Amino acid sequence: MSFLRGSANYVWCTTSVLGKGATGAVFQGVNKHNGETVAVKTFNQLSHMRPQEVQMREFEVLQKVKHENIVKLLAIEEEQEGRGKVIVMELCTGGSLFNLLDDPENNFGLDEDEWVLVLSHLSAGMNHLRDNNLVHRDLKPGNIMKFIKDDGTIVYKLTDFGAARELQDDQQFVSLYGTEEYLHPDMYERAVLRKPVGKTFGATVDLWSIGVTLYHVATGNLPFRPFGGRRNKETMYHITTKKASGVISGVQTSDNGPIQWNKELPSTCLLSAGIKKHITPLLAGLLEVNPEKMWTFDQFFSEVTRILNKKKLHIFYMNKLSELRVYLDKEERLENFQHLLLEQTGVDPAKQLLLFQSNFLTHSVEPVTPGTSYPDTSQNEPIVLFSKENNNITLGIEKEVPSFPALPNLVSVENDATLAKSACAVGYAYRRKIEAYSRCSEVIDKAVKMLVEVISTQLEKLLEISEKCKALTKITESQMSFFNASHLSHLRIIEVFSRNEHESIEDWKKRVDELVRDDLVRFQGYRKQLHDLFPAIEQLNKRYVLEHHLIREWKEVTREINNISPCAIKGKTYVGKLKESWQHLLRDRASRTLTYNDEQFHILEKIKMQETIRILADLLQKECQPVVNQLTEVLADWFKMAQTTFLQTEILHKDITKYEDEIETFSVAVKTSQDRYESLLDEVLTNVKEEQNADFELEKQKMLLLQHITANGNKNPNHDTENHTTNHTNNSNDPGKSKLNENKVQIRRALRSILTTQDEVWGIMNENSRLIEQFGQLAVASSSMDHNSSQILAEIDDTLENYGSH
């Protein structure tokens, strides 16, 4: 008998079966002309019994659709020997999602990235069908194919349009298609329970099937599971129709037993809490029996688009040593991100210390950066989250690894394959755990180094600021001593030229004294503050920057701890061995009876499996687990020290920047005081001048009177004084006149001296202001560009030198 069959352009071998279904079989074939490998769908007798119109539908639909996520039709040809039409399609070498779920690796569902890919491609393919007014009516994992491109990228594609048909909007159909576990309850009622209800069905039945498919692919299990499976059809119907809104699974674990309803995805599945948050409502919307509440296609497509447009972020939460994921929308900002972290960790946003690539996360993102513009992260390069208020480190509540089943010595061809499959599934769970531990140990090391780096950079900045403050304080101190010195000299000068008892002078003295004293007192306070801060900063710098205490300590405490990175590769190797054994036992099951020799190999395979299981268990329990426990312990101690240092640095940073602001403000305030002082000084000088003028007038009057008496005896005291005055003024030998001239010279000299002192002081003040401004610019420069601290200090020194020479 020949296994080779063919059509005009293709040939296939009936031994190369890709899959079999109700209507026929699909074989791997080849193009006779160019050798291209293809999939050929042939139809069985049963399918030929369908009405011609129905048989033609699959061809028509396939000819109509053209989309990356729908299997491409290559040809429809007549099979030789009049066996009927065949459909030639592109070959999907990755098999169907059903095949993937049958792999023990996916026993608990697909991993998150793969699941999201399925969601994306399934919804894109469905969207194309909707655009063409087509209903598929048989959506299930077996009809979603995995196509692997030449570059290794994966594309999921919809196939099997045997049940599909055109259905205009709002149009209904009555025929029954589909696979019962994935059927909408209304169709299930008619097709499976055979109840003659006069219901018609709309395109939304596909949505229910998508919901069941997505749940299945996410968890490895069907969402609605009556005890006994397909046999228990009434319970199946009961589960799907009686479930409350929001419930996404119902499981009966004993005969006639209660149904366990669940609104959440199981903890065994490989999806993160971050993605579950978004897909659970989606599943609930699809698995909704109430037509009022069930989602529409538009709702489904827009929600899927929303999920797919999110940015995925990997986070490593140090206090619990757990890997997290957060999905961010474009509209979401840092605040939302931190809130999502709060939901998953309980760490208040104010207490979250977020690091990324050896810096604060805020170095890479602004508070207003859109969520989708966050930097790319991965499990190995995550954002690291530390809690600032909690210095405990514990291994988070971990996913339990399931136990390996016992493999009995007795040979049972049927049972052995099943047991081997579940042992292999557990093996994969072990492998994932081993990988997670190995990643954890690597990320811990990276996170420790990140924190050390951040602390060290902070301390260096702290030192830089405090050096700047020191210089600023020194300048202000000089500013203050000049102020004080010039004040004292003013006092002395004023005392010489004024009558001390004069009220306005007394008042002036009081006011300027207060002014100067207040500034001096305030300045003393500042100096003390800096005096307290600076040694603490210097000490921390010495210990953690110069002496690298934190990293040295970490190296010391982890010196004896083994590196478990190679365990991940070993885990992969051993689980591969388990899979090979399972496949061997599966082949044995297919051959049903074993020869004596086959039986011996079968027994050997089980012994081999037991040995592999032991090695895998040891790898996890004896190699990885103790190392992670040890790491947790040493990390807990180390983190207490690192966290204290970090908090100290943070407090000192707050204090020193506050000080910096204050001393800058004070320096400006001193300038204002000096302005005020100047106006007070002007005021008092005017008073002194007036006093001198009054004395001069009095003296002059006295002289005139004396002259008058001398010249005219005791005659008329009201003699022509004007004339006398004129004479008196012109007479250089007059003693009164010379006295007055002397006074004038003295006053002029005194005033000149005051003004010169004043000028000098203001010159210095101006120079100070200029220096302060220069320091301000240096500060700006140091913060805006990545200024080297020693360069800044050199500039400060230069400025100080200039200042000194002044």
Ligand X SMILES: Nc1ncnc2c1ncn2[C@@H]1O[C@H](COP(=O)(O)OP(=O)(O)OP(=O)(O)O)[C@@H](O)[C@H]1O
Annotated binding site for ATP: 41
Q: Which is nearer to ligand X, 21 or 202 (CB)?
A: 21
Q: Which of 428, 452, 448, 445 is nearest to 562 (CA)?
A: 445
**In the β-sheet with 352-356, what is the strand arrangement from edge to edge?**
322-328, 311-317, 383-387, 352-356, 359-360
Q: Can you tell me whether residue 741 is helix, strand or coil?
A: helix
Q: Where are the alpha helices (DSSP H) in 243-367?
A: 273-286, 297-308, 334-345, 361-364
Provide the minimum distance between the beta carbon of 203 and ligand X in the complex, in angstroms, as a whole number.
19
Known binding residues are 41
Q: CA 487 to CA 482: how far, in whole Å?
A: 8
Lay out the site mask for ligand X across 56-95 (x = CB under 6 A, - = otherwise): ---------------x-----------------x-xx---
- Please list every residue from 524 through 583 that binds ligand X, using CB under 6 A: none
Q: Which is nearer to ligand X, 188 or 483 (CB)?
A: 188
Q: Does 178 bind ligand X (CB under 6 A)?
A: no
Position closest to ligand X via CB: 21
Provide the minimum distance between the beta carbon of 21 and ligand X in the complex, in angstroms, as a whole number.
2
Q: Which is nearer to ligand X, 205 or 609 (CB)?
A: 205
Residues 6+ apart with CB under 8 A from 541: 459, 460, 462, 463
Provide the minimum distance between the beta carbon of 222 and ligand X in the complex, in angstroms, as a whole number.
16
Q: Select the residue interacting with ligand X from 96, 123, 473, 673 (CB under 6 A).
A: 96
Provide the minimum distance between the beta carbon of 147 and ligand X in the complex, in angstroms, as a whole number.
8
Q: Which is nearer to ligand X, 181 or 795 (CB)?
A: 181
- Please list every residue from 444 through 503 that binds ligand X, using CB under 6 A: none
b/e for 501-524, b at 16 or more Cβ within 10 A? Answer: eeeebeebbeebeebbeebeebbe
Size of the site for ligand X (CB under 6 A): 21
Lay out the site mask for ligand X across 9-48 (x = CB under 6 A, - = otherwise): ---------xx-xxxx-x------------x-x-------
Q: Which of 395, 389, 420, 391 is nearest to 407 (CA)?
A: 420
Q: Which is nearer to ligand X, 98 or 762 (CB)?
A: 98
Angle between helices 413-497 and 596-618 (to 10 degrees): 20
Q: Which is nearer to ligand X, 41 or 333 (CB)?
A: 41
Q: Which of 313, 145, 282, 291 is nearest to 212 (CA)?
A: 282
Q: Select the residue interacting with ligand X from 7, 159, 441, 673 (CB under 6 A).
A: 159
Provide the minimum distance between the beta carbon of 49 and ligand X in the complex, in angstroms, as a whole number.
14
Q: Which of 546, 554, 559 is nearest to 641 (CA)?
A: 554
Sign of CA dihedral 527, 528, 531, 532: negative
Lay out the site mask for ligand X across 118-147 (x = CB under 6 A, - = otherwise): --------------------x---xx-x--
Q: Which of 103, 138, 206, 255 is catalytic?
A: 138
- Please list every residue from 340 through 369 that binds ligand X, using CB under 6 A: none
Q: CA 557 to CA 554: how far, in whole Å?
A: 5
Q: CA 744 to CA 722: how far, in whole Å?
A: 22
Is 138 designated active site?
Answer: yes
Residue 219 half-sphere exposure, CB side, CA atoms within 13 Å? 22
Angstrom CA distances, 595 to 304, 580, 581, 602, stand at: 54, 20, 18, 10
Q: CA 96 to CA 147: how far, in whole Å?
A: 9
Provide the minimum distance between the beta carbon of 70 and ligand X in the complex, in angstroms, as a whole number.
11
b/e for 306-333, b at 16 or more Cβ within 10 A? Answer: ebeebbbbbbbbbbbbbbbbbbbeeebb
Angstrom CA distances, 676 to 420, 478, 489, 531, 548, stand at: 94, 19, 17, 30, 51
Q: CA 556 to CA 634: how far, in whole Å?
A: 10
Q: Are 364 and 377 in contact (CB under 8 A)?
A: no
Provide the minimum distance between the beta carbon of 178 and ligand X in the complex, in angstroms, as a whole number.
9
Percentages helix, strand, coil for the chain (3-state, rounded to 5) are 60, 10, 25
Q: Which is nearer to ligand X, 46 or 569 (CB)?
A: 46
Angle between helices 205-219 and 297-308 (to 10 degrees): 30
Provide the minimum distance between the beta carbon of 93 and ligand X in the complex, in angstroms, as a whole number.
7
Q: Are 155 and 68 in contact (CB under 8 A)?
A: yes
Q: Which is nearer to ligand X, 138 or 467 (CB)?
A: 138
Q: Which is nearer to ligand X, 143 or 707 (CB)?
A: 143
Provide the minimum distance between the beta carbon of 164 and ligand X in the complex, in angstroms, as a whole number.
10
Q: Can you tell me whether residue 733 is helix, strand or coil?
A: coil
Q: Is 201 exposed, middle or buried (0-12, 13-18, 19+ CB in 10 A)?
A: buried
Q: CA 212 to CA 190: how far, in whole Å?
A: 19
Span of 156-164, 444-452, 750-758, 773-781 interacting with ligand X by CB under 6 A: 156-164
Catalytic residues: 138
Binding site for ligand X (CB under 6 A): 18-19, 21-24, 26, 39, 41, 71, 89, 91-92, 96, 138, 142-143, 145, 159-160, 162
